[in-house]
Amino acid sequence: MQDGRITLTQFIIEEQRHIDGATGDFTSLLNDIVTACKVISNAVNHGALVGVLGSAGSENVQGETQKKLDVIANEVFLRSNEWAGHLAAMASEEMEDVYPIPERYPRGKYLLTFDPLDGSSNIDVNVSVGTIFSILRCPGECRTRPSAEAFLQPGTEQVCAGYALYGPSTMMVLTTGNGVNGFTLDQNIGEFVLTHPNMTIPADTREFAINASNMRFWEPPVRRYVDECLAGREGPRGEDFNMRWIASMVAEVHRILTRGGIFMYPLDEKMKAAGKTGKLRLLYEANPMGFIVEQAGGMAVTGRSRILELEPEGLHQRVPVILGSRNEVQRVLDYHREHDATHAA
Ligand code: AHG
Ligand code: MN
Ligand code: MN
């Protein structure tokens, strides 16, 4: 811009030069995603004034009650990204099946998955929520007949991942595999401006985030890790720890990118008994956040393996998520390894 600031549009045009085989398509797709996030941000900001709070009275494929804003944000993403010819299909937390780009529009070479509104239990209480997205290439024949299988690519295949955070300020944080950069929405000019270049996660932290109401169901390695944190200076870690739980993964990851920390939504006995494989969704929560966290120097694992290397089995597959500061995530990984080695079947 004239004033020396770098807009997101300028940044992604320059960034695209690092992506193999990318044409103007990618920049244009990101612009449409950015527009969708601005529209959602506007709806979130106006809240009760424009009647967008509360329940929609329906359930999504996960059996969760949809908020009005879950449905609105999903529609905004579909409408904003279907027309331009960059995508073959989209998949979302709020839709059971994939959404092939309708015949009346040209189809493109990318796939988009998204969680249109993350942390939606926070909407009605005016606490931060966000949007998470991931861009994949459309393999082989998928352009003509896009199916769910086309989306089942490991997270290492992501071309781009990002999130928008609708907090005290609206931010967009992105990676295309070349580091992580954060942009703040300047409401006066309607542009995201680069404010957080090269975001990196400190390797060490004294802050953890976990929903402790599930403590009685945790597996021994998670319980051990948290017990040791809680024991503070008198315990084996020899230091006091702080705890946070916002119930909005976008906000937790953003805090971790800003000042470090570890976030855990682990596998637990209650999930296992119910036949569930985790709480968070692989394709539009764990993979994009894992990509961002790794690009910022952190780690993202299930407790037993690297999230980005998982071979997805379903569009809405759930996985355990442990991510953040490298040394702490490695410690939790080690605790799982030690436990599994001594309790092998
Ligand atoms: P969503 O609103 O998209 O369903 O995601 C909510 C997720 C995640 O953002 C958050 O960390 C977690 O669910 C909160 O779960 P609890 O309500 O069990 O704490
Ligand atoms: Mn979510
Ligand atoms: Mn959601």
pLDDT of residue 345: 60
Indicate the residue among 174, 196, 218 that finishes a domain.
Answer: 196
Point out the ligand nearest to the CA of residue 40: 3
- Say how many CA atoms lie within 13 Å of 36 toward its Cβ: 29
73 in the same domain as 49 = yes
Residue 278: CB partners within 8 Å, gap ≥ 6? 265, 267, 271, 302, 318, 319, 320, 321
Pocket test of ligand 1: the residue of 61, 65, 211 to mutate, having most ligand atoms within 8 Å of its CB, is 211
pLDDT of residue 172: 98
Indicate the residue among 196, 228, 258 that finishes a domain.
Answer: 196
Residue 3 falls within a domain, yes or no? no
312 in the same domain as 235 = yes
Residue 14 falls within a domain, yes or no? yes
CA of 219 from ligand 2 middle (Å) equals 23
Angle of helix 8-16 relative to helix 24-46, nearest 10 degrees, comes to 150
pLDDT of residue 74: 98
**Prediction pTM value:** 0.97
Which of 229, 202, 207 has its CA nearest to residue 218?
Answer: 229
Indicate the residue among 175, 196, 217 that finishes a domain.
Answer: 196
177 in the same domain as 233 = no
**Protein residue closest via CA to atom 12 of ligand 1:** 247
CA of 274 from ligand 3 middle (Å) equals 21
219 in the same domain as 83 = no
Enumerate residues with CB within 5 Å of ligand 2 (an ion): 115, 118
Class of residue 193 by CB neighbours under 10 A (exposed 0-12, middle 13-18, buried 19+): middle
**Cα dist from 307 to 63, 169, 204, 230, whole Å:** 24, 30, 20, 27
Chunked mean pLDDT (size 10), the chain, 345 residues: 90 80 85 97 92 88 87 97 97 97 95 97 95 94 89 98 98 96 96 98 97 98 98 98 98 98 98 98 98 98 98 98 98 98 83
174 in the same domain as 296 = no
**Residues within a 6 A CB radius of ligand 1:** 64, 93, 115, 118-121, 211, 247-249, 265, 279
**Atom of ligand 1 at shortest range from CA of 279:** 13
Domain count for the chain? 2
pLDDT of residue 1: 83
**Atom of ligand 1 at shortest range from CA of 120:** 2
pLDDT of residue 19: 66
Range of the domain at 292: 207-344
Residue 93 falls within a domain, yes or no? yes
319 in the same domain as 266 = yes
Residue 202 falls within a domain, yes or no? no
**Cα dist from 231 to 65, 265, 288, 318, whole Å:** 38, 21, 33, 31
Residue 187 falls within a domain, yes or no? yes
Residue 1 falls within a domain, yes or no? no
